[in-house]
Amino acid sequence: MKISTVMIKAANHPSGKSGFTLIEILMAFAILSIILSALYSTFFLSHKAMEGLDESLVKLQECRAMMDRLRREGDAIFYSLGNKNCLFKVEDRDLYGKQASRWVFTAFSPLIPGLSTISYEVDEIAGKPTILKKIRSVYRAEGNQEGAEMIEEVEAFTVEARDKDRWVRQWDASEIKKIPEEIRVTITVRIKDRPVTFYETIKPKIGKTL
């Protein structure tokens, strides 16, 4: 009988009640909100950083591939003074104050059998300065030809030819009667709001003593 009385008193005692007060629940929600906000901010910043990194890597890969392509095509430049189909011309131009050379030459390309005319220039596409490449067979009549977009948002595209001990930005082989011994190509793009410049020095090899 004494045991039953003690158990009833313990059950009715305020300290024996279970559950949370309203203040405790509100505090728990506040702490949970802070934790979730911190986690979301961390995820958002990490995701944004990864996107920026991916864009930077893509741009770097595009530029390196472009320079490699220019080197290979430059190595295969062919010019013969007596051949009316051959040409080599570098023009010094600018696009809204940015260096935007135009380079046209004949070379042997794996894309087209025989000799090809290849040109590189900068044009504005959808409001962005873009390097365009055009290629055609020298035996095909020249007409309206669409350019393949190579690199977008170019800060500068410069082609220079070495004339003895100096670099020039104008060269017309039909007037000078020869092509330069070396060509220097410079491409500048903006990566993460910083200008990054790529260089390539090209030495035409066809007809030259190795």
Q: Mean pLDDT for each consecutive 10-residue tract of the chain (210 residues)?
A: 45 54 80 79 61 71 90 93 91 91 93 89 91 89 69 93 93 94 94 88 78
Given this model, what pLDDT does residue 173 score?
A: 95
Given this model, what pLDDT does residue 166 score?
A: 93
Given this model, what pLDDT does residue 11 score?
A: 46
C-alpha radius of gyration, the chain, whole number: 34
**Segments making up each domain of the chain, as ranges:** 57-202
DSSP state of 100: B
Q: How far apart are CA 170 and CA 25, in angstroms?
A: 77
Nearest C-alpha neighbor of 180 from the set 192, 166, 194 = 166
Q: How far apart are CA 187 and CA 185, in angstroms?
A: 7
**Structure tokens, 4:** 């039953």
Q: What is the pLDDT of residues 175-210, one digit of tens each?
A: 999 999 999 999 999 887 889 999 999 999 886 655
